[in-house]
Amino acid sequence: MSPVNPVTPVSPVHPVSPTSPVLSVDNLSVRFRMRGGRQIAAVSDASFALAPGECLALIGESGCGKSVLASALLGLLPRNAETTGRALLGDLDLLAADERTLARTVRGRRIGLVPQSPSAHLTPVRTVRSQLEETVRELTGVPKAGLREAAEAAAERAAFPATHLDRHPHQLSGGLAQRAATALALVGDAPLLLADEPTTGLDRDLVDRTVDELRRHADTGRALLMITHDLAAARRIADRVAVMYAGRIVEIADAPAFFGAPGPRHPYARALLDALPERAFTPIPGMPPELGDLPDGCAFAPRCARASARCETLPAPVDGVACHHPEEATACSN
């Protein structure tokens, strides 16, 4: 319904046919009903599309609603959540699908989840091989005789060394545990990979290796949605970046332009990059608003140097930026 689709799926790296996005999210909102009639607007009017072979990084501060968005796509929201909008995975609306459909045909099969903490995601008392074989059997129906081979192939795809297949999770380093979890996520050969903070708590080398591997899987034609607060990781692998603030996507941009020149156009996104130690290292004044108590207008206005009276109304996204006073677009704006 909105006059301008905030998403212009044009990536210089991976040309995208607009007819066949893997995932297309349209005005997705999530509300939590709390005790005492309070409402928490965790996600508001999020819209984006994701093409095969493309990596979209959803970035934002903790508590901005980005993990809720991921949970909504997987149908893993708690009972007090209400969703509106659409999230089409092929021709299936993930928000309308019932638990049975999601459990039997979506999770693992059409969406592979790369977890936040692999060590917690793996069963501690079983070897990587047995977990892989079980997942292969469940998801692909490979006959018993072929299981061993299929599991080894799955490990191979995530660059998990075959020599370590018979180890238990606690015998693996952080990097190998992450690869084991990724191998599990890849078994169902899902067209969409969803990585929720895949690098939290890892050190820089491991972050780089983990996201590079994710990028490799995107390069084989999968769509990758990476949710992260790690801007360096996003910069390393993303084709496009979606910046979330207080439950809204305030800017969607091509990653090279966003991280390089001319830089972000939304004042929040600019300030977020300026907080990096390799840049100005200055924090954004104040704190994000409570999702249960959002202003009617732009949620960033109270912390924004450019705020004016106009900011008391909600800015509609134009060219992927939801701001009344955006940084001028480089070439042809106005």
Which spans of this chain sit near other proteins (rule: CB under 8 A)?
32, 34, 40, 42, 60-63, 65, 67-68, 75, 77-85, 95-96, 99, 173-174, 200-206, 229, 231, 271-273, 275-278, 281-284, 286-287, 291
Is the Cβ of residue 32 or residue 48 nearer to other proteins in the bound state? 32
> In the complex, what is the shortest distance from the CB of residue 6 to other proteins, in angstroms, rounded to a whole number?
20
Residue 142 Cβ vs other proteins, minimum distance, rounded to whole Å: 27
DSSP code of residue 106: I
Do 92 and 176 meet the contact criterion of CB atoms below 8 Å apart?
Answer: no
Helix (H, G, I), strand (E, B) or coil at 309: helix
DSSP letters for 194-263: EEESTTTT--HHHHHHHHHHHHHHHHTT-EEEEEES-HHHHHHH-SEEEEEETTEEEEEEEHHHHHSSS-
Indicate the residue among 83 and 135 with the shorter CB distance to other proteins: 83
* Distance between CA atoms of residues 157 and 46, nearest Å: 33
Residue 276 beta carbon to other proteins: minimum distance, rounded to whole angstroms = 5
Name the residue nearer to other proteins (CB basis): 272 or 323: 272
* Cβ 274 to other proteins shortest distance, Å: 8
Minimum CB separation from other proteins for residue 32, in Å? Answer: 5
Among 117, 195, 214, smallest CA distance to 157 is for 214
E-assigned strands of 80-202?
81-89, 92-93, 111-114, 192-196
- The dihedral of CA 153, 158, 160, 166: what is its sign? negative
Question: Is 43 in contact with 84 (CB distance < 8 Å)?
Answer: no
| Beta carbon nearer to other proteins, 123 or 333 | 123
> From the CB of 77, what's the least distance to other proteins, in Å?
5
Report CA torsion sign: 98, 102, 103, 104: positive
Question: Which residue, 42 or 294, has its beta carbon nearer to other proteins?
Answer: 42
Q: Tell me how far the alpha carbon of residue 215 is from its chain's centroid.
A: 13
Residue closer to other proteins, measured from CB, 234 or 311: 234
Token pair belonging to 241: 């970046």
Q: What angle do CA 122, 114, 22 make, to 5 degrees?
A: 145
Closer to other proteins by Cβ: residue 38 or 310:
38
Q: How far is the CB of 156 from other proteins (least distance, A)?
A: 26
